[in-house]
Amino acid sequence: MGESPLSVGFFIYKIILANGGVKVSLHNEHESSEAQQLALNSFSDLPGIQSTSDHDPFASVRLARADAAFNPFEYSPLKSTAAPFNLEMTNPYGPRYDNLYQDHQPQNDHEADGIEFSDGPIKPEGPQVERPEDRNRPIVTVRQGESIQRAIERAPEGAIIKVQAGVYNEKIKFTRDNIDLRGEPGAVMDFASVDASEGAIRIDGRKNITIAGFEIKNIRGKSTPTAIQVEGVSSNIRILNNDIHHVENNSNAHAISVYGRNKSPIQNIEIAGNKVHDLKLGRSEAVVINGNVAQFKITDNKIYNSNNIGIDIIGGEGVSAGNDRARDGLIARNEVSNVSSATNPGYNFKKAAAGIYVDGGMRITIENNRVQNSDYGIEIASERRGLNAEGITVRNNDLIRNQLAGISIGGGDSSNGGITDSVIENNRLVNNVRAIWRQKNVGAVDIKNNIVT
């Protein structure tokens, strides 16, 4: 392909259309129609290309190569030889899928249908554990054979506790505020010989706590074993970049739970960049926010191989004496797969599990997630009569090969609650048994601009 007269700030995407055609979509932050047309004209002579200058904000999100085996969820910006490429996408949130990004600098270009492609933008870094204000904080080092709990209890105010490589197998409770607990590469918390009931790692009524960088495994116990449990009137809690796996109990278990039981809410929770996988949860969920919890973010996690719900936001379950509804949250850029209760004795081996579930929560945005090979992709409802999930926005998600529905709205029975005052828009639903399943007690829900194949 010859030189294209693109100027700095342009980015162009090749899009595979449902009818097998191809179009080029061009965007420029300065919205210069003359410059756009100039750039589009440079592609007009390519075979099979339909040039367009429309500004569909989702047109540039899913792109693919035009061959028989193309992946409709892969994108590749077209390469311009005239100027540096603007790699920012129209949607500022993502998507953030490993197979879409290169690790460092651009690799060798490849061609498809005579059009040059780059290997994609540089992969964004994960959640940032270190912050500028950390520079003057005291550092405490824990070595294998030493006690993490003792370090927490004896560390100076505001300490960063760095845990060196090794295997640690003690239950941990944060007894102080303003502590960062950071695992260095190879730091493993193995609870195989520990009863992890009510939290192997417990945060109760604490503020300004970070847990980051650990492998946390073998979570079992008699009563709701949980890898990381947050309760009390806690605030500013960050759970980042951990690998949590083999959480097991046939009754109830969680990988990460946040339970707001008090009249005052738990606030400002960030759960980001974690891998959560290989779970047997009984009738509970992998990552759950329940009760009086306000302002949370669940982003950039990978949740897979679970026999019950991946992410669950719950209201009205009777957990809190205060505002008993998890609210004001963002669920974004998560990859959820292989979530099914078909192997779960707690559900009589019936399919009922959602990758992402809002059960009576309110004012929550769910965007740029990918959920595949699960019972439900995304489910929005309420299990309690007279209570609706409300103020829910579900947009720009990929729902792929889910066994009951890509998106389900409303209660499964007329005795349940439902959903109202919500929006389902610009989602891509591929090879689901049902695309969008409208069940019971569905109120005012705006369903628009979804793509179903």
As a whole number, the mean pLDDT across the chain is 79
| pLDDT for residue 125 | 54
Return the minimum-mean-pLDDT range out of 34-38, 153-157, 426-430: 34-38
Q: What is the pLDDT of residues 393-449, one digit of tens each?
A: 999 999 999 999 999 999 988 899 999 999 999 999 999 999 999 999 999 999 999
CA Rg, the chain, in Å?
A: 24
Q: Would the pLDDT of 6 be above 50?
A: no
Domain spanning 133-452 has what CATH number?
A: 2.160.20.10
Q: What is the pLDDT of residues 340-367, one digit of tens each?
A: 999 999 999 999 999 999 999 999 999 9
Average pLDDT over residues 118-140: 70
| pLDDT for residue 128 | 83
Neighbours of 253 (CB within 10 A): 28
Q: Is 215 exposed, middle or buried (0-12, 13-18, 19+ CB in 10 A)?
A: middle
Average pLDDT over residues 173-183: 97
Domain boundaries, the chain: 1-124, 133-452
| pLDDT for residue 451 | 96
Return the minimum-mean-pLDDT range out of 103-112, 124-133, 214-223: 103-112
| pLDDT for residue 64 | 28
Quick one: what percent of the chain has pLDDT higher than 90?
68
Q: CA 267, CA 188: separation in Å to the nearest integer?
A: 28
Q: Is 97 exposed, middle or buried (0-12, 13-18, 19+ CB in 10 A)?
A: middle
Q: Would the pLDDT of 39 be above 50?
A: no
Q: What is the pLDDT of residues 47-105, one digit of tens each?
A: 333 334 333 333 333 332 233 333 333 333 333 333 332 222 223 333 332 323 233 32
Selection from 4, 28, 11 nearest residue 86 by Cα:
11
Q: What is the pLDDT of residues 8-19, one digit of tens each?
A: 333 333 333 334
Q: What is the pTM of this model?
A: 0.75
DSSP codes of every residue in 251-270: SB-EEEEEEE-SSSPEEEEE
| pLDDT for residue 89 | 28
Q: Can you read off the two tokens belonging to residue 452?
A: 């179903």
Reduced to 3 states (helix: H, G, I; strand: E, B; else coil), residue 103 is coil
| pLDDT for residue 126 | 63
Q: Can you read off the two tokens belonging to residue 43?
A: 């592609």
Q: Please provide the size of the chain in residues.
A: 453
Q: What is the pLDDT of residues 262-297, one digit of tens each?
A: 999 999 999 999 999 999 999 999 999 999 999 999
| pLDDT for residue 216 | 98
Name the residue with higher pLDDT: 213 or 7: 213
